[in-house]
Amino acid sequence: MSESAKLALAELTTMGVGGVPAEMHEAHSREELIELSLQTWKAGEDWLLLGGGSNIVAADELEELHVIRVRSLGIESDNHPEKPVWPTKQIWRVQAGESWDGLVAKTVEAGLAGLEAMSGIPGSVGAAPVQNIGAYGQEVAETIVRVEFLDYQTRELHILENSDLDFGYRDSAIKRGRQGVITWVEFQLENHGGLSKPTESTQVAQALGLQLAGQAPLAEIRDVVLRLRAAKGMLYDPQDQDSWSCGSFFTNPIVSHSFARTLPSEAPRWETEADDGLTVKLSAAWLIENSGFTKGFQIAGSKAAISSKHALAITNRGGASAQEVVQLASLVQAQVMNRFGINLVPEPNLIGF
Ligand SMILES: Cc1cc2nc3c(=O)[nH]c(=O)nc-3n(C[C@H](O)[C@H](O)[C@H](O)COP(=O)(O)OP(=O)(O)OC[C@H]3O[C@@H](n4cnc5c(N)ncnc54)[C@H](O)[C@@H]3O)c2cc1C
């Protein structure tokens, strides 16, 4: 493990905000990640695990924070050449510091389905279960079998099965407060002869001339998804200021049928499964645009702005402070609350506020 140069989190996060922490160490293997985490916890410091920094809004002042950068690499599969029959399913164990999109690219090259619609999501493999990442009809909860988890409370290593992670929409037991470190993730991938899983995204299906639930070669799904994402500024690109963000800044609200009936009929809505009676998912982007914000909106004098390509992303137009990002997010929340009575919930992790 090594102590990194003390970079500001502004340089290590896609949102591009955040001060210089007290300390920063890098863990280059599972063992280092475990040792470093235990040491930091023992010292009783404020700590942050940092993967790719694509879902973090860090405060401008972070003098007390100890950062552990997860850089552990390695991918193993259970596909042994001596197995007589090509398996229809394969388990891949992937270390937390691997790049998410690098992993997706490898599964597509290997002809294995399960992650293809999540092409182009920035960040690391270890962070993927935290908010159950998802896009274009797939969620990572559908493919994760188990993770290895170093528990902050017990300081012990546990294997958490999929059901232990209690996944929900952009949510998991870890996001809800079970603190600790994911050291590796196991995925179950499927062999459909080079084809994708049945596509559950209308946009992807339309782009490929498929019916919903149709299948296409994995590489075609990946190409279409990358193209759709780039057009919305949802592919992180240092040259594209619309992607200097955390992706979607708010989750799509889920409300009851009776509440949904009070909204204008043109408000987009989808039936969704939920066990607490809240069963209609709304479009946060539509709510934002219909409460008075246009794409590209900026508070006068602020360097934070709503993306000019997607109303759901708050972006840094160069040199914004964390305070400016949070101020814009609060204004959006207040206006959506005033207009529709809905509290938009931020998706990124707010650190040090
Ligand atoms: C342009 C853009 C587009 C995006 N599009 C999507 C999208 O389509 N769908 C989607 O779901 N998300 C999307 N995101 C959000 C983000 O990419 C994901 O949430 C991603 O999983 C974050 O990974 P990361 O490694 O960057 O995590 P970080 O930002 O480094 O960390 C996020 C959280 O996870 C914790 N964490 C990190 N590593 C570990 C670990 N090993 N163990 C335990 N906790 C850990 C951190 O402490 C923090 O709380 C987008 C972001 C951007 C910038």
Atom of ligand 1 nearest to the CA of 14: 53
- Considering only CA atoms, which residue is closest to atom 28 of ligand 1? 53
Ligand 1 mean position to 56 CA, how many Å? 7
**Residue 272: per-residue pLDDT:** 87
Closest ligand 1 atom to the C-alpha of 52? 26
Ligand 1 mean position, distance from CA 83 (Å)? 36
Q: According to the model, what pLDDT value does residue 215 have?
A: 97
Q: Is 205 in the pocket of ligand 1 (CB under 6 A)?
A: no
Q: Is the CB of 284 under 6 A from ligand 1?
A: no
What pLDDT was estimated at residue 84?
46
Q: Map residue 222 onto helix, strand or coil.
A: helix
Q: Is 182 in the pocket of ligand 1 (CB under 6 A)?
A: yes
* Intervals of the chain under pLDDT 70: 1-5, 80-87, 275, 278
Q: What's the token pair of residue 268?
A: 């987009």
Q: SS3 of 37, please?
A: helix
Number of CB atoms found within 10 A of residue 242's CB: 22
Structural tokens at position 22: 């007290």
> How much is the pLDDT for 80?
60
Domains and CATH numbers, the chain: 2-70 (3.30.43.10), 75-231 (3.30.465.10), 241-351 (3.90.78.10)
Which tokens sit at 252?
């799509």
Query: Hunting for tokens 């809905």 — which residue is that?
Result: 342
**β-strand 65-70 against 75-77: which pairing, if any?**
unpaired
Best of 55, 95, 165 for a ligand 1 pocket test (most atoms within 8 Å of beta carbon): 55
- Quick check: 131 and 172 in contact, CB under 8 A? yes
What six digits make up the tokens of 327? 């101020």
Q: Are 36 and 47 in contact (CB under 8 A)?
A: no
Asked whether 291 lines ligand 1 (CB < 6 A), one says no
Q: Which residue's alpha carbon is at the smallest distance from atom 15 of ligand 1?
A: 55
Known catalytic residues are: 170, 248, 347
- DSSP code of 183? E
**Strands of 29-164, DSSP E:** 46-50, 56-58, 65-70, 75-77, 89-95, 134-135, 138-139, 144-151, 157-161
Distance 247 CA to ligand 1 centre (A): 9
Q: What is the pTM of this model?
A: 0.96
Beta strands of the chain (E only): which ranges? 2-3, 23-27, 46-50, 56-58, 65-70, 75-77, 89-95, 134-135, 138-139, 144-151, 157-161, 180-190, 254-255, 269-271, 280-282, 304-306, 314-316, 349-351
> How far apart (Å, rounded) are the C-alpha atoms in residues 10 and 3?
18
**Mind listing the pLDDT tens digit for each residue in 179-211?**
999 999 999 999 999 999 999 999 999 999 999
Question: From the CB of residue 112, how many other CB atoms can be counted at a distance below 10 Å?
Answer: 23
Gap from CA of 102 to ligand 1 centroid (Å): 14
327: left (phi over 0), alpha (psi -120 to 50) or beta: alpha
Q: Is the CB of 52 under 6 A from ligand 1?
A: yes
Output the pLDDT for position 87. Answer: 58
- Count CA within 13 A, CB hemisphere, residue 282: 30
Which of 343, 250, 337 lies closest to 292, judged by CA? 337
Q: What is the predicted pLDDT for the residue at 39?
A: 97
